[in-house]
Amino acid sequence: MTAAEALRAAAQRLAAAGIEGGMRDARLLLADAMDLSPDRLTLHLPDTIDAGVIDRLEAAVAARQRRQPVAQIIGSRLFWGRSFKVTRATLDPRPETEVLVQAALQHPFVNVLDLGTGTGCIVLSLLADRPMARGVGCDLSDAALAVAVENAQALGLHARTRFLQSDWFANVSGRFDLIVSNPPYIAADEMAHLAEDVLNWEPHAALTPGGDGLAAYRMIAAGAGARLHAGGRLMVEIGPTQAHAVSDMLLAQGFESITVLQDLDGRDRVVSAQKPAQDNAKAE
């Protein structure tokens, strides 16, 4: 069997299972089974594949038919041009979150705090593009932190990154030029409407805080001022209907220059705010 024949068969099976983008997923799964970079797969489609590749592809396609996300099957996801390890303990990094990274890189910073770091994709992407910066990533999940540490080591950023277990700001000390976060923001009554790929495979604690979905923003808004230098910035990813509520929370805490940024689909995606240059808060 050639790789091209295996690709067609895998794509047909995924399409028959109702998987949208079946050909795209089949290409990623086949490339992983052949131990190839996806961008090199086309060059090898005429190749005859051995039984080992066929078995690996079979197992991967079966997992995808069960709606397991491709990133979990192959163990990684490209984000901001770099590969990040992904497991069931972490959210699958999404392209929409790159809006947050892009916005953060438009301003100077030398130290950054990432709340709810997960894979570490946000803080590590920022540090990779700012060689003089240092960062802290915190998460409540020890399993997620272990993944983030692996990603930092793989990217050669472990010397400039510290990861710690913390319930938001609870174990965080010092001040930062920049605080970023992609917190859980899905309301409890929205969970049932999520795609099976998300609902059945990604950690619910990283998806929803329960209730109206805004609990994490209340904690971040209340605690960020004491952890930012004067003039420091706070940037958070939001759900597409939450811009007004989150902006109001930050305004009530004394933040200024509050702006809402959209993703490529025109949906509200990031709220950015700045701590006033006159700093009256005391850091612990």
DSSP string, 132-185: T-EEEEEES-HHHHHHHHHHHHHTT-GGGEEEEE-STTTT--S-EEEEEE----
Model pLDDT for residues 165-206, shown as the tens digit of each residue: 999 999 999 999 999 999 999 999 999 999 999 999 999 999
Q: pLDDT category, 278, cuts 50, 70, 90? A: confident
> pLDDT (tens digit, 9 = 90+) per residue, 44-73?
999 999 999 999 999 999 999 999 999 999
Asked if 40 and 32 touch (Cβ cutoff 8 Å), the reply is: no
Q: Residue 134 and residue 141: Cα distance in Å, rounded?
A: 22
In the predicted model, is pLDDT for residue 282 greater than 80?
no
233 pLDDT exceeds 70? yes
The per-residue pLDDT for 279 is 58
Question: Does 283 score more than 90 pLDDT?
Answer: no
Instruction: Tell me the two tokens of residue 174.
Output: 């010092």
Q: What is the pTM of this model?
A: 0.93
Rg (CA), the chain: 21
Q: What is the spatial distance between Cα 171 and Cα 173, in angstroms, rounded to a whole number?
A: 7
Compute the mean pLDDT over every residue in the chain, rounded to the nearest whole number. Answer: 96
